[in-house]
C-alpha cells in the first residue's frame, strides 16, 4: 500500500493503474477510521481493481465553533486499517495542498442542501461538495463509495455527479452499527459512558419507526412517534426527526411507499445523526 500526500503524484499513480486497464475506486474519509469506513474499503476492494482511500479532515465543512480542532486524528491506526481492508493507495493531503490561498471556487448543490443537516449546519455541504469534487478530480475514479450513515450527503454527491457530468458511479453502502445499535461514527468517542447509553435513543426511535411502518402506520404518525421518543429521552436534544421522500428529502406524497426516517440530536456537546429506509404499506 502506498501513502501519498501530493495531489499531483496521487493523480499520476492512479493514472498508471488506469493505463494498465484497471477500474479505480475511491473512498473519501476524514480518518479516525472505524468498521463503517472499513466496510466501504472492503466493498470497493470486491468491486474494483485499484482502491484509493483518502484521509483529509476538511476544514471548509466545519463551521466556526464546531469540532474541527478536536476532531480525532489517528493516522497510524487509520493506515493500518486501510492496509488490512485492502487499499492500494491512501491519499493524505495537507490542507495547504488542497486549498490555495487565492482559491475562489465553491461547488454548491442548491436545493438538497437547504434542509435537515444543511439547515442546521449552513455552508457545511458546500465544503463537502467542493472537497469531494476536488478528490474526484485528483483520483479520477470509476466508482466512489459513501455510507448511508450520511444519507443526505450521498444524495447531494449523487446530484453533483449528475449535474456536473463527473461520469462516475456513486455506491452507497449500508450503515454499520455497534452491537447495541448505535451507528458507528468517529464522533462516538466524544461520548461519556452515560452519554453513550443515552445516545441509543436515536436507534430506538428508528427501530420503532420501522416497526410502525411494518404495521401500516402513516409517515406522519411515524414522525410523531419518533419525535415523542427523542423528545423524552434523557440527555438527548433533538435537532430533527422526520420521515421524508428518499430522493427529494421533502414531505412524501400520499401514495409513496419508500421513504427515509432521519434523526439528528445532540447528546451533551456531541451531535449525532442516523437514519433508516422505511417501506410504507
Ligand atoms: P467521515 O470520515 O465521517 O467523513 O465518513 C467517511 C465515509 O464513511 C462517509 O461516506 C460516511 O457516510 C461513511 N461512514 C461513516 N460512518 C459509517 C457507518 N457507521 N457505516 C457505514 N458508513 C459510514
Domain count, the chain: 2
* CB distance 213 to ligand 1 below 6 Å: no
φ/ψ of 36, rounded to 5, equals -65, -50
Is any atom of ligand 1 closer than 6 Å to the C-beta of 173? yes
User: For residue 101, what are the CA distances in angstroms to 11, 96, 98, 107?
Assistant: 22, 8, 10, 17
User: Measured in angstroms, how far is the CA atom of residue 233 from the centroid of ligand 1?
Assistant: 25
Q: Can you tell me which residue has the cell 440530536?
A: 265
Beta-sheet pairing, 236-245 with 24-29: unpaired
Q: Does residue 180 fall inside a structural domain?
A: no
Sequence-ordered list of residues with C-beta below 8 angstroms from that of 232, at least 6 positions apart, any chain: none
Least Cα distance to 171 among 145, 142, 148, 141 occurs for: 145
Select from 142, 173, 204 the last residue of a domain: 173
4 in Cβ contact with 91 (< 8 Å) = yes
The Å distance, Cα 149 to ligand 1 centre, comes to 6
Structural domain range at position 203: 186-279
Is 210 found in the same domain as 122? no
* Domain final residue, candidates 173, 207, 241: 173
Mutate to test the pocket of ligand 1, among 67, 81, 147, 275 (most ligand atoms within 8 A of CB): 147
The predicted structure's pLDDT at residue 187: 97
Structural domain contains residue 48: yes
In a shared domain, residues 198 and 234: yes
Catalytic center residues: 37
**29 and 70 within one domain:** yes
Tracing cell 478530480 back to the chain, one arrives at 137
Residue 178 lies in a domain: no
Q: Are 74 and 144 found together in one domain?
A: yes
| Pocket of ligand 1 contains residue 183 by CB under 6 Å | yes
Do 161 and 229 belong together in one domain? no
Q: Cβ(184)–Cβ(36) under 8 Å?
A: yes
CATH number at residue 257: 3.30.1300.10
The phi, psi pair for 259, rounded to 5°, reads: -135, 175
Residue 181 lies in a domain: no
Within a domain: residue 119? yes
| Closest C-alpha among 53, 68, 132, 56 to residue 93 | 56
Residue ranges, the chain, pLDDT below 70: none
Nearest atom (ligand 1) to Cα of 32 = 2
Note whether 219 and 125 are same-domain residues.
no
Cβ atoms within 10 Å, residue 89: 21
Residue 184 DSSP symbol: P
Distance (Å, whole) CA 145 – CA 26: 6
CA gap 281, 139 in Å, rounded? 42
Could you give the CA distance from residue 275 to residue 167 in angstroms, rounded to a whole number? 28
pLDDT score of 137: 98
Residues 16 and 139 in one domain: yes
Q: What is the pLDDT of residue 254?
A: 86
- Let me know whether 108 and 241 are in one domain: no
Picking from 106, 140, 173, the residue at the C-terminal end of a domain is 173
Both 6 and 41 in one domain: the answer is yes
| Cα 9 → chain centroid | 26
- Is there a single domain that holds both residue 272 and residue 161? no
CA of residue 39 to ligand 1 center, whole Å: 9
Residues 33 and 147 in one domain: yes
CATH number for the domain spanning 169: value is 3.40.50.620
Same domain, 105 and 224: no
Quick check: is 68 in a domain?
A: yes
Indicate if ligand 1 lies below 6 Å from the C-beta of 184: yes
Amino acid at each position: 500500500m502506498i501513502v501519498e500526500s501530493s495531489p499531483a503524484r496521487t493523480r499520476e499513480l492512479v493514472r498508471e493503474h488506469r493505463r494498465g486497464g484497471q477500474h479505480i475506486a475511491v473512498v473519501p474519509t476524514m480518518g479516525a477510521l472505524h468498521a463503517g469506513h472499513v466496510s466501504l474499503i472492503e466493498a470497493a476492494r470486491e468491486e474494483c481493481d485499484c482502491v484509493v482511500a483518502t484521509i483529509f479532515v476538511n476544514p471548509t465543512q466545519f463551521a466556526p465553533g464546531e469540532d474541527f480542532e478536536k476532531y480525532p486524528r489517528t493516522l497510524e491506526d487509520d493506515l493500518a486499517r486501510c492496509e488490512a481492508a485492502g487499499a492500494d493507495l491512501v491519499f493524505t493531503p495537507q490542507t495547504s495542498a488542497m486549498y490555495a490561498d487565492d482559491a475562489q471556487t465553491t461547488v454548491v448543490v442548491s436545493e438538497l442542501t437547504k434542509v435537515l443537516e444543511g439547515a442546521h449546519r449552513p455552508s457545511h455541504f458546500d465544503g463537502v461538495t467542493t472537497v469531494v469534487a476536488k478528490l474526484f478530480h485528483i483520483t479520477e475514479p470509476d466508482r466512489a463509495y459513501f455510507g448511508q450513515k450520511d444519507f443526505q450527503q450521498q444524495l447531494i454527491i449523487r446530484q453533483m455527479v449528475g449535474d456536473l457530468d463527473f461520469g462516475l458511479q456513486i455506491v452507497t453502502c449500508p450503515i454499520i452499527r455497534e452491537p447495541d445499535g448505535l451507528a458507528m461514527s468517529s464522533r462516538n468517542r466524544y461520548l461519556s459512558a452515560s452519554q453513550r447509553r443515552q445516545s441509543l435513543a436515536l436507534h430506538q426511535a428508528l427501530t420503532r419507526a420501522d416497526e410502525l411502518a411494518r404495521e401500516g402506520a402513516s409517515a406522519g404518525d411515524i414522525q410523531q412517534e419518533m419525535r415523542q421518543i427523542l423528545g423524552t429521552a434523557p440527555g438527548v436534544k433533538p435537532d430533527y426527526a422526520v420521515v421524508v421522500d428518499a430522493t427529494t428529502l421533502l414531505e412524501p406524497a400520499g401514495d409513496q411507499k419508500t421513504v427515509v426516517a432521519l434523526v439528528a440530536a445532540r447528546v451533551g456537546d456531541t451531535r449525532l445523526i442516523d437514519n433508516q429506509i422505511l417501506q410504507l404499506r
